[in-house]
Structure 1
Amino acid sequence: MMKKIALSVLVAAAVAMADCSYVQEGDVSVNWTAFKTPMKAGVNGTFRSVVYKGADKAASLTELLKGAKVMIQTNNVESGNAGRDAKLVQFFFNQMDGQMLEAQVLAVDEAAKIVLVEVIMNGKGLNVPMAYTLEKGVFSAKGVIDLGDFKALDALASINRACYDLHAGKTWQDVNIGFVMKVEESCTK
């Protein structure tokens, strides 16, 4: 038993003495999946331009991410279908206050692998917990928002009317959201 405790202390000390750095490289991609039809068919998309402001390098993942922000003009939505994109802008995003989405990382729980992100949409900010992974240099976070929480049900009703037949009369108010970026981790002893 004492050997296990001693070994655990040595491993913890070695990890604590390791000099680590986390480097964010390249663009940040923000993605979403909205749902339509009674069968809840997913429609995936992203945005062509995301402005990222945050640390490029830090000693921990928490230091790298905490306070990082993204700003997105809603008119640059990209779903892989130009007609759909135009309808999303006209009948959904343009029905809300402001044409900007913003998000900021408020906290990082590395043990639970959760980031807490304030999402600002339609003039309302809400804290959204997002589960994350960091594998092979790719950081990926995923969460869910409810458009009702952002007072965006009028915008939802607008896109549902515009796409009523395509959506079989149903557009869901929950939307999966996420972001992905390259984060290189290196530790030396």
Structure 2
Amino acid sequence: MRKKIIYILLVGVLFTSFSCKKANKEEVIEEKISSYILSSDSINLEWTAYKTTEKVPVKGTFTKIELINIPSGKNPQAVAGNVEFSIPIESIFTKDTIRDGKLKKFFFGNLMGTSNITGKTSLKEDGTGEATITMNGVEKTVPVTFTTNGNDVEINANLDLDNWQAQMALTALNEACYELHKGADGVSKTWNTVDVLVKVSTKLQP
């Protein structure tokens, strides 16, 4: 009888030990899955504005994007879908210093309190989502689409600047660039739409 009791106790100890090891293994796996992260230097924002009635593209970027939070998640999409950011206007870059100066002075300079563009992202499982952007004292949410490729996420959005009440700023910019924004038809035009592409590169935490 004593041997039987000892046998039962040994079986119980072995079973408990196996269960704990299995649980620990699952916890480690879960921890690895939930350890994607990004830093401010792993975000690249490209924008495309348009001029003339022929809608000639003008491309640029911002060389600095500051993260308000440091998001992490179980996959790259979860990380890119939880980003709060602030973009200093001074970091605008179009490979043309004269154009950069005009954008700062005549466009952003005519927006209320816009030394920074701030916002946050929210992505769904179906390749769609939203971005909430604050500019000119106005907060607006716009739809976005996104794709993933390994650890990288690309987010696309189209901004209608009228939603941020930027008409006066666009008019000032068009007047400052009147001849440069004139097409073959002799009409000078600065479009109110801007296409935005954001590339986010995530990585596993060490």
TM-score, normalised via structure 1 length: 0.80
Tell me the CA shift for residue 63 of structure 1: 4.1
- Residue 149 (str. 1) matches residue 168 (str. 2): no
Mean Cα displacement is larger for which, 134-143 or 51-60?
51-60
Task: Determine the structure 1 residue equivalent to 2:65.
Answer: 50
Q: 5+ unaligned residues in a row in structure 2: which ranges? A: 1-28, 183-187
Q: How does 1:4-153 map to 2 (within 5 A)?
A: 19=30, 20-21=33-34, 22-25=36-39, 26-61=41-76, 63-98=78-113, 99-105=115-121, 107-110=122-125, 112-153=126-167
- Greater shift in the superposed pair: 160-169 or 129-138: 129-138
Q: Would the aligned equivalents of 1:55 and 1:65 in 2 still touch at CA under 8 Å?
A: no
Would you say the 8 A contact 1:28–1:52 is kept in 2? no
Match in the other structure for 1:178:
197
Superposed CA deviations along residues 36-73 of structure 1, whole A, max 9, x for unmatched, are 01110111111121102334532244542344211011
**Per the alignment, do residues 61 and 138 of structure 1 end up closer, same or farther by CA in structure 2, a change over 3 Å counting?**
closer
Q: Max radius of gyration: which structure?
A: 2
2:44 partner SS: strand
SS at match of 1:158: helix
Deviation readout 1:69-121 (Å, 9 max, x if unpaired): 1101112210111110001001100110112101111x3211x2122110111
> TM-score scaled by structure 2?
0.74
Shift of 1:155: 0.2
Identity %, equivalent residues: 26
Residues 62 and 48 (structure 1), Cα distance of their counterparts in 2 relative to 1, 3 Å cut: closer
Cα distance in structure 1, aligned partners of 2:137 and 2:145: 25
List structure 1 runs of 4+ shifted beyond 6 angstroms. Answer: none
AA matched with 1:146: D
**Greater RCO (Cα-Cα under 8 Å, separation 6 or more):** 1
Residue correspondences, number: 167
Find the aligned partners of 2:181 and 2:66 in 1 and give their Cα distance.
31
Contact residue 54 and residue 64 of structure 1 kept, 8 A: no
Q: 1:134, CA displacement in angstroms?
A: 1.2
CA distance in 2, matches of 1:63, 1:139: 10
Tell me which protein shows more helix as a share of its residues.
Answer: 2
> 1 or 2, which has the higher strand percentage?
1
* One-letter identity of the residue aligned with 2:127: K
Whether the 8 Å contact between 1:54 and 1:65 is mirrored in structure 2 is: no
Contact 2:129–2:144, Cα closer than 8 Å, also in 1: yes
Quote the Cα distance in structure 2 between the aligned partners of 1:43 and 1:166. Answer: 11
